[in-house]
Amino acid sequence: MGSIITLSIVQSALELGFIYALVALALFVSFSILDIADLSTDGCFTLGCAVCATVTLAGHPVLGLFAAAAAGVVSGFVTAFLQTRMGIQSILAGIIVNTGLYTINIAVMGFASNINLFSCDTVFSWAKDHIGGTWYKLIVAAVFVVIVGVILAWFLNTRLGLSIRATGDNPDMVRASSINTGLMITIGLCVANAMTGLSGGLLAQYQKSCDINLGTGMVTIALASLIIGESIIGKGGVLKRVIGVVLGSCLYRFIVAIALRLNVPAECLKLVSSLIVAFAIALPYLKKQAAFMKQRRLAKAENQLYMEQIQKQNQKKEEP
């Protein structure tokens, strides 16, 4: 086991875990808070990656991250517009936006399938010059996630954030309170997709490249991280749940790293991700069923003991 888990594997898993945690936080807002299945995550992640790579290639890495987040906001607004103004169901709206984003992404990349940033400065290369060592990438990723997580937890506890949370819980009650649910959905999806775009931008600068198919399966990865985090932390306040999502993302990347270490073919990673998601989603139900079966066995044992006592009492009464 010592040869499987090394310091470099832990470091790499934490780095990618923090970067992908932003996507998991985006699904936390759209899926857990708003109860909306946003399937535009894959295309939005690639959009953020492409926009950031293009701006970074022009010599503005910090601006590239802001541009990636802004591009995510636009993607979220379009998805919300289709839902709230065009009457399209959330799943179909996400599919439509995700399909359209493929052409937009490849156009942003100059109609090329990939972009290389090996000759460009990034926030990670700046951190290497100022921090040094081998942990600078982890520090940068952690700082971004901490800042975003704290801002998100604060925002969801404001009056506007509480209105967004109420919209996901009971939209009819929110409408009765004269709150515009369409506006709340739009703001929520814009915030969620901004984090998705920022995550894509960070990954572009992290690996110094961008590929048109980079976002494929991102919904599965984020959903796995979200479910794992909620299974670990459970219910609680917003900050506690945000921490759980980040922990779930890191744990997921750690599981994937171990799978690669065990010589699992790279082509099977999507299957591994699907199995992790299925198990994570089924885990609460399995726990409930296990508790029910345990309670059933105890009740059966108590009932059997009670019947034995009655039989003994009847035998004593029959004795002369």
Region 211-233: mean pLDDT is 85
Asked, for residue 306, whether it belongs to a domain, the answer is no
Region 159-164: mean pLDDT is 92
pLDDT of residue 287: 82
CA atoms of 215 and 225, how far apart (whole Å):
16
Lowest pLDDT segment from 87-91, 101-105, 153-157, 268-272: 268-272
pLDDT of residue 1: 45
Region 208-213: mean pLDDT is 90
User: Could you tell me which residue, 226 or 51, shows the higher pLDDT?
Assistant: 51
Asked, for residue 255, whether it belongs to a domain, the answer is yes
Region 219-242: mean pLDDT is 84
CA atoms of 199 and 215, how far apart (whole Å):
11
Asked, for residue 290, whether it belongs to a domain, the answer is no
CATH number, domain of 112, equals 1.10.3470
Question: For residues 206 and 17, is the Cβ–Cβ distance under 8 A?
Answer: no
Lowest pLDDT segment from 159-163, 239-243, 270-274, 302-306: 270-274
Range of the domain at 135: 7-263
pLDDT at 22 over 80: yes
pLDDT at 155 over 90: yes
* Cβ-count burial 31-49 (b if 16+ within 10 Å, e if not): bbbbebbbbbbbbbbbbbb
Q: Which two tokens stand for residue 188?
A: 């929520």
pLDDT of residue 46: 94
Rounded to two decimals, what is the model's pTM?
A: 0.86
pLDDT of residue 304: 84
| Nearest alpha carbon to residue 160 among 133, 140, 187, 136 | 187
Beta strands in the chain (DSSP E): 114-116, 209-211
State residue 265 phi and psi, 5-degree precision.
-60, 145
CA atoms of 196 and 190, how far apart (whole Å):
10
pLDDT of residue 3: 62
Give pLDDT tens digits for 75-90.
999 999 999 999 899 8
User: Could you tell me which residue, 161 or 273, shows the higher pLDDT?
Assistant: 161
Mean pLDDT score of the chain: 88
User: Could you tell me which residue, 272 or 174, shows the higher pLDDT?
Assistant: 174
Instruction: Tell me if residue 237 falls in helix, strand or coil.
Output: coil
Asked, for residue 56, whether it belongs to a domain, the answer is yes
User: Could you tell me which residue, 45 or 232, shows the higher pLDDT?
Assistant: 45
User: Could you tell me which residue, 195 or 316, shows the higher pLDDT?
Assistant: 195
pLDDT at 163 over 80: yes
Asked, for residue 284, whether it belongs to a domain, the answer is no
Using pLDDT thresholds of 50, 70 and 90, give the confidence band for residue 157.
Answer: very high
Asked, for residue 311, whether it belongs to a domain, the answer is no
What domain count does the chain have? 1
pLDDT of residue 319: 63
Asked, for residue 316, whether it belongs to a domain, the answer is no
Give pLDDT tens digits for 52-76.
999 999 989 999 999 999 999 999 9
Instruction: Tell me if residue 78 falls in helix, strand or coil.
Output: helix
pLDDT of residue 285: 82
Question: Any bridge partners for residue 211, and if so which?
Answer: 114
Question: For residues 50 and 105, is the Cβ–Cβ distance under 8 A?
Answer: yes
pLDDT at 132 over 80: no
Asked, for residue 18, whether it belongs to a domain, the answer is yes
pLDDT at 255 over 60: yes
Region 205-224: mean pLDDT is 87
Question: For residues 174 and 159, is the Cβ–Cβ distance under 8 A?
Answer: no
